[in-house]
Chains A and B, each alone.
Chain A
Amino acid sequence: MIINVARKELKSMFASPMGWVILSLLMFAFGTYYLNGVNDYFAVMSGAMRPAERTGVTQFVGQNVYGFASFMVLFAVPLLSMRLISEERRSQTLPFLFSAPISLTEIVLGKFLGLVAFLSILVVFIGGMLSTLNIWADIDFGFIVANSIGLLLMVASFSALGLYFSSMTQQPVVAAILTFIALFALMFLDRFFAGDPSNTLASLSLTRHFQSFSGGLIDTADIAYFGLFIATFLTLTVRRLDADRLRG
């Protein structure tokens, strides 16, 4: 049943130009970054004489692309997640889902998975793009896998937050703005505490937990953080929808 809701969301996303446009624009941007990264690699490495200055091509280009991607999804996810529930609320299509034999949890999970599935297309494409480096170099696939997992967890967290804000309003634009502000704050929280890195609030920052992935390290603590983040906002969304049923 969760799958059916997710399929419906995917269908809606591809039924409008919005999904295609965002996908293609993002891929264009990532592709440009990738090409620039490869060019820069030769420029930088030809100047770097000492072995300590030399880094692998995977890390050099990968960090370039994944760093940029984690920043770009900050803009892309709110645009995609804003419609998920608020649009249904506005056009009064929620009763269609509410009166079907599916639970609220299934509806929320389905919508969440639908969006994550859409965004994972991006993650897969980026991974594929970087893997083409393997044609002329011997690349570090572990690094790409770790980064892909990190990016996927990050967009999933973004989606969960976006879904929650989408459930709170009837206006998709309001949902997008709220999501963007919240994500922006969470991304750059650690910058505010740059002087005191051990601060508890700083460790709530999404960027900090992405950092270990971007270095090629899969840390269970970070996976747990993203997992909890997602679970929290999905639960809040379910509760928000349940309030609809109870309060009307």
Chain B
Amino acid sequence: MNNFTVEAIDLTRLYGGREAVSNVSFTLSKGQVLGFLGPNGAGKSTTMKMLTGNLAPSNGSVKICGIDMMENPKEAKALIGYLPEMRPLYKELTVDEYLTIAARLHRVSAGHIKKAVEIAKERCGLSHMSKRLIENLSNGYQQRVGIAQAIIHNPMVVILDEPTVGLDPIQIRDIRALIREVGSERSVIISTHILPEVEMVCDHVQIIDKGKLVFNGSIDVLKKQRIGNKLMIAMRNPPSVDEMLKVAGVVEAESLAGNLMRVRFADDAAPSEAIVQAAVINNWGLYQIAPDQTSLEDVFVQLTYQEQAEPEQVAA
């Protein structure tokens, strides 16, 4: 027995012959937060539906803590907390009533329901909203109720589909802290469009595009791709490219508009100092030097673009 909390094996889902998700396999261990990234319609939500047993996969299988979702759905579902993209809230009930029902349905023992509701409310910052009708809550608070519902039974795996949509920045920060907290002892899978969010809360990233996994690995790998080895230099009297190439460690230089110059350096070189010295000696009038970060967005576009560039180019 391994101790994977989530195991997806060759998940495939066909919609009328079209593959919405094809051969997605991954594993997740305790204490990991997995970020699910992908453009619209990539199959993130479909994958999540399959993981939670809301949708039967056309092929492949899902195991939650070693329990097969197809064979023992009840036992497997008991270990999952799920917040779908559309919040499943009964708006005619109050927060307390709704969470009590959620606890009951998720087999929280009768004696602990009250306590479980209190804890979930506290964790999601809902304590002062207990008696309010869900219908009358703001979008952000409704989202919190959705999250509270997913963690009320203290599940092994928490699956949140775009959890920070519609929240204000402070709430987003709170929810991210909550995700990290839950993720430290359990497993969390979140899907999102917001790339910095992935960087902040996740330690594993999966990028899915057109139903296929295009990237699956630790966040560090992605970060490394992102930071790269480039410098952006601004100078009042920029030198020619050839002059810049003479500086030790510089491999490539490129003149840009507005007195800017982008410099790529060798993998283990750190030419900043040399460049500054050269600038002083040659009177280049350097006034700004900074690492040139490819944004996570660029990495994301690169990864999903590579897929698109392959044979079957679909006319948009």
Contacts and interface: CB of A to CB of B under 8 A. Distances in A.
Contacts of B97: 11, 15
Interface string A146-166: 000000000000000000000
A195 interface: no
B74 A101 contact: yes
Contacts of A5: 105
A245 B54 CA distance: 6
Contact of A103 (B73, B88, B102): B73
Contact of B13 (A97, A100, A101, A248): A248
B88 A94 contact: yes
A95 interface: yes
A99 B53 contact: yes
Contact of B93 (A12, A97, A101): A12
Given A11-B101, A15-B93, A101-B78, A93 B106 contact: no
A92 interface: yes
A12 B97 CA distance: 10
A11 B97 CA distance: 9
Contacts of A16: 92
A200 interface: no
Given A4-B104, A99-B80, A100-B106, A93 B74 contact: no
A95 B89 CA distance: 10
Contacts of A245: 53-56
Interface of A: 1, 4-5, 7-8, 11-12, 15-16, 91-103, 245-246, 248
Nearest to B80: A99
Interface of B: 13, 15, 46, 49, 52-56, 73-75, 77-78, 80, 82, 84, 86, 88-93, 97, 101-102, 104-107, 149
Given A11-B101, A15-B93, A95 B74 contact: no
Contacts, number: 79
A100 B105 contact: yes
B55 A12 contact: no
Given A93-B89, A96-B88, 12 more contacts: A4-B101, A4-B105, A16-B92, A93-B88, A95-B49, A95-B86, A96-B90, A96-B149, A98-B53, A100-B105, A101-B75, A245-B55
A91 B91 contact: yes
B231 to A, nearest CB: 49
A95 B161 CA distance: 12
A93 B107 CA distance: 19
Contacts of A15: 92-93, 97
Nearest to A13: B92
B52 A102 contact: no
Contacts of A95: 49, 52, 54, 82, 84, 86, 88
Contact of A102 (B15, B74, B84, B102): B74
B104 A101 contact: no
Given A100-B106, A103-B73, A248 B90 contact: no
15 contacts: A11-B97, A92-B86, A93-B89, A96-B102, A96-B149, A99-B84, A100-B102, A100-B105, A101-B106, A101-B107, A103-B73, A245-B53, A245-B54, A245-B56, A248-B46
